Amino acid sequence: MEGKLRSVGIHQASGWVEAVLDKLVFTNIPPGMPSDTADNTVLYVGEQIVLDKLRRKHGEIPQKYTPLSGDQVVIQPTSSMGLGVFAKRNFEPGDLVVCERPLLVIAADIYSDPSLAARGLNTNYLINLRQLGTILKSANSHFLRANRDAFADLSKDYALDPVADILIKDHFPELYILSCNGFKTRNDSQMFGVYKDYRVVPRVASRINHSCSPNAIYYFDEATFTFNVVATRKIEASSEISLMYCALEVPRVHRHDSLRCYNIDPCRCVACETSDKEGSDRRRKMIKDIQSDTALVERLADLSLAELLRIQQAVEEEGLHYLAVYPWCCN
Ligand SMILES: [Zn+2]
> How far does the centroid of ligand 1 lie from the alpha carbon of residue 272, in Å?
4
So what's the pLDDT on residue 115?
54
> How far does the centroid of ligand 1 lie from the alpha carbon of residue 241, in Å?
14
> How far does the centroid of ligand 1 lie from the alpha carbon of residue 99, in Å?
25
| pLDDT of 90 above 90 | yes
| pLDDT of 193 above 60 | no
* Pairing verdict, β 226-231 and 216-221: antiparallel
> How far does the centroid of ligand 1 lie from the alpha carbon of residue 80, in Å?
13
| pLDDT of 243 above 80 | yes
* Confidence category of residue 4, pLDDT binned at 50, 70, 90: very low
So what's the pLDDT on residue 157?
60
Pair 178, 199: CB distance under 8 Å: yes
* Confidence category of residue 233, pLDDT binned at 50, 70, 90: very high
Please give the C-alpha separations between residue 26 and each of 174, 293, 306, in angstroms, as whole numbers: 15, 42, 55
> How far does the centroid of ligand 1 lie from the alpha carbon of residue 319, in Å?
11
Q: How far apart are CA 37 and CA 188, in angstroms?
A: 27
> How far does the centroid of ligand 1 lie from the alpha carbon of residue 212, in Å?
4
> How far does the centroid of ligand 1 lie from the alpha carbon of residue 264, in Å?
9
Angle, alpha carbons 117-108-115 (nearest 5°):
20
Q: Which residue in 3, 1, 2 sits closest to 261, CA to CA?
A: 3
> How far does the centroid of ligand 1 lie from the alpha carbon of residue 280, in Å?
11
> How far does the centroid of ligand 1 lie from the alpha carbon of residue 248, in Å?
9
Has this prediction a pTM greater than 0.85?
no
> How far does the centroid of ligand 1 lie from the alpha carbon of residue 140, in Å?
33
Query: Alpha helices, DSSP H only, in 141-205?
Result: 145-153, 162-164, 173-181
> How far does the centroid of ligand 1 lie from the alpha carbon of residue 318, in Å?
11
Element (H, E) at 132: helix 129-140
> How far does the centroid of ligand 1 lie from the alpha carbon of residue 88, in Å?
24
> How far does the centroid of ligand 1 lie from the alpha carbon of residue 253, in Å?
10
Angle, alpha carbons 58-218-93 (nearest 5°):
110
> How far does the centroid of ligand 1 lie from the alpha carbon of residue 91, in Å?
22
> How far does the centroid of ligand 1 lie from the alpha carbon of residue 268, in Å?
6
Find all residues with CB under 8 Å of 256, minimum gap 6, and list them.
265, 266, 267, 272
Q: Which residue in 135, 140, 138 sits closest to 155, CA to CA?
A: 140
So what's the pLDDT on residue 37?
84
> How far does the centroid of ligand 1 lie from the alpha carbon of residue 25, in Å?
38
* Confidence category of residue 132, pLDDT binned at 50, 70, 90: confident
Please classify residue 221 by burial: count the beta carbons closer than 10 Å to its beta carbon, then call 0-12 exposed, 13-18 middle and 19+ buried: middle
| Higher-confidence position of 165 and 281 | 281
Pair 270, 319: CB distance under 8 Å: yes
> How far does the centroid of ligand 1 lie from the alpha carbon of residue 282, in Å?
15
Average pLDDT, the chain: 79
Please classify residue 42 by burial: count the beta carbons closer than 10 Å to its beta carbon, then call 0-12 exposed, 13-18 middle and 19+ buried: buried
So what's the pLDDT on residue 265?
81
Cis, bond preceding 34 (omega within 30 deg of 0): no
CATH architecture of the domain with range 16-283+315-329: Beta Complex (2.170)
Please give the C-alpha separations between residue 9 and each of 6, 35, 138, 149, 206, in angstroms, as whole numbers: 10, 42, 21, 30, 25
| pLDDT of 127 above 60 | no
